[in-house]
Amino acid sequence: MTTNDELHQRATARIPGGVNSPIRAWGAVGGTPYFVERAEGARLWDVEGNEYLDLVQSYGAVIAGHAHPAIVAAVQEAATRGTSYGATTEGEVRIAEAICDRVSSVDKVRLVSSGTEATMSAIRLARGHTGRTKLVKFAGNYHGHGDALLAQSGSALAVFGLPDSVGVTPATVADTLVVPFNEVPTLDEDVAAVILEPVAANMGLVPPADGFLQALRDECDRVGALLIFDEVITGFRLACGGAQEVFGVEADLTTFGKVIGGGLNIGAFGGRGEVMDSMAPAGPVFQAGTLSGNPLATAAGLAALELLDDAAYDAIRHAATRLQGHLAQAFSGAGIDAHVGRVETLVGIHLGADAPATYDDAKTTDEAAFGRFFHEMLSRGVALAPGAYEVLFCGLAHTDDVVDSIGAAARDAAVAIG
Ligand SMILES: *Cc1c(COP(=O)(O)O)cnc(C)c1O
């Protein structure tokens, strides 16, 4: 039998760190990552035949659950007609219409192949459209790995960003200002755009403070800067219309990814027609992609969006609420300080007494305790994302039975680490 260890050794020989995305190496929690053999619904199996109840769900990309029959059928059908053409398809038109129908601030949308591409392109568009250079982002918000966005702030004051990665030059991030989440910065007329996760979901789960999104909207309007909501996680997950619908604040540009691909490679950015028409070939801002609007990805994404009616969001919200309750009870029962947060369908664990509001707060989580909790859960058949700052993703496959089993595992796991 192939083992996880054996594959891990082969992987590290030929792939840097053995992974194609760093978090998958389990650096934050230790141990040898499992290699997935297959997955169905809320369950996945590794190459050794171990079964896990999965709360990773491809970091939110498979909201319908793994290998959902409607999505599998859509991909199979699309594949028989060819996998990429370099010409436009009806599928692209249909998913663009589906996105615009569901998100009221989006009149036009451009499809790309990942969330990273969506945010990079949205920023180029914002700069090109406004003719301004500065970009404001919030500490602890993740927008993919585009150079200009790989900057954060360790300080509570607005500062010019320092690169997060070797290879990103100071000059590249010199026009990126990083400010604390949940505080409205004072902008000036050099600012092309402010980008944020309207619900921060890459520093654990940090909801926007009351009035924060509206005040930010007002400040952007005051100086004529564009407000970009990065809804790569929250789009089509918190609600059909994303965070904008939940909080009643509209963005000028919105980026999407994850859910809209049904588990295939897709991203998108969209907004008002007048802004989007600055994109080539309608306008002067260049952006392109050989595989953009890929027919398999649009088929999978459309199938996913079609499954997401009001009843589907009710079901996922119910699962998330139940999971939140189980986890909160598990930690308190074991005498562990924890705040289990929830925003609609998203759940996050903060291993500390108080709910975090900023990145600095979020970083007070007990990372070592999370690592122990991760492994105690894994040994009880529950797969969490291998990092203290990742959220927990429920989907259509997380029935009461599944969530209750996760809850039972969590009670024992919390006692084990407590
Ligand atoms: C995942 C994520 C991205 C990047 O998307 P990729 O498809 O991984 O490139 C961007 N923004 C947010 C908020 C994300 O969670």
CATH code for position 323: 3.90.1150.10
Q: Is 152 in the pocket of ligand 1 (CB under 6 A)?
A: no
pLDDT value at 280 more than 90: yes
pLDDT value at 156 more than 60: no
Q: 284, 307, 330: which is the final residue of a domain?
A: 307
Q: 307, 325, 348: which is the final residue of a domain?
A: 307
Q: How many Cα neighbours within 13 Å face the side chain of 306? A: 13
Give the integer Cα–Cα distance in Å for 2 and 49: 10
* Residue in the structure block whose two tokens are 């459309």: 302
Burial 84-110, CB ≥16 within 10 A → b, else e:
eeeeebebbebbbebbbebbebbebbb
- Return the H-helix or E-strand segment holding 271: strand 267-271
Q: 245, 280, 307: which is the final residue of a domain?
A: 307
- Reported confidence tier of residue 155, pLDDT bands at 50, 70, 90: very low
> 59 CA distance to ligand 1 centroid (A)?
9
Q: Which domain range does residue 286 map to?
A: 69-307
| Ligand 1 pocket: which of 232, 265, 291 to mutate (most atoms within 8 A of CB) | 232
Convert the pLDDT of each residue in 180-237 to its tens digit: 999 999 999 999 999 999 999 999 999 999 999 999 999 999 999 999 999 999 999 9
The residue whose CA is least distant from atom 5 of ligand 1 is 115
pLDDT value at 154 more than 70: no
Mean pLDDT of 53-61: 98
Does one domain contain both 284 and 317? no
> 107 CA distance to ligand 1 centroid (A)?
22
The residue whose CA is least distant from atom 6 of ligand 1 is 115
Give percent of the chain above pLDDT 70: 97
Convert the pLDDT of each residue in 70-89 to its tens digit: 999 999 999 999 999 999 99
Per-residue pLDDT at 161: 56
Q: Any idea what the Cα angle at residue 416 is, between residues 410 and 418, rounded to 5°? A: 95
Per-residue pLDDT at 162: 62
- Reported confidence tier of residue 147, pLDDT bands at 50, 70, 90: confident
How many domains is the chain partitioned into structurally? 2
Does one domain contain both 302 and 317? no
Q: Which residues contact 80 (CB under 8 A, 6 or more apart)?
A: none
Does one domain contain both 264 and 325? no
Q: Which atom of ligand 1 is nearest to the CA of 114?
A: 7
Q: Which two tokens stand for residue 86?
A: 């370099």
Does one domain contain both 97 and 175? yes
Does one domain contain both 335 and 407? yes
Question: Which regions of 10-107 does DSSP assign to beta strands (E)?
Answer: 36-40, 43-46, 51-54
Does one domain contain both 49 and 192? no
Mean pLDDT of 328-354: 97
Q: Is 202 in the pocket of ligand 1 (CB under 6 A)?
A: yes
**Which is nearest to 347 in space by CA: 326, 363, 361, 332?**
326
Q: Which atom of ligand 1 is nearest to the CA of 202?
A: 15
Q: Which atom of ligand 1 is nearest to the CA of 257?
A: 7
| Beta strands 159-160; 162-163: pairing state | unpaired
Classify burial at 251, counting beta carbons within 10 Å of its beta carbon; exposed 0-12, middle 13-18, buried 19 or more: buried
Our measurement of the distance from residue 342's CA atom to the centroid of its chain's CA atoms, rounded to an integer in Å, reads 15
Does one domain contain both 45 and 171? no
Q: Which atom of ligand 1 is nearest to the CA of 59?
A: 1
Does one domain contain both 116 and 223? yes
> 114 CA distance to ligand 1 centroid (A)?
7
Does one domain contain both 268 and 162? yes
Q: Which residues contact 336 (CB under 8 A, 6 or more apart)?
A: 351, 369, 414, 417, 418
Give the number of other CB atoms < 10 A from CB of residue 290.
8
Q: Is 230 in the pocket of ligand 1 (CB under 6 A)?
A: yes
Q: Which two tokens stand for residue 284?
A: 């002067």
Q: Is 119 in the pocket of ligand 1 (CB under 6 A)?
A: yes
> 123 CA distance to ligand 1 centroid (A)?
14
Does one domain contain both 184 and 41? no
pLDDT value at 121 more than 90: yes
Q: Is 112 in the pocket of ligand 1 (CB under 6 A)?
A: no
Residues labelled as active-site residues: 142, 230, 258
- Reported confidence tier of residue 152, pLDDT bands at 50, 70, 90: low
Does one domain contain both 317 and 291? no
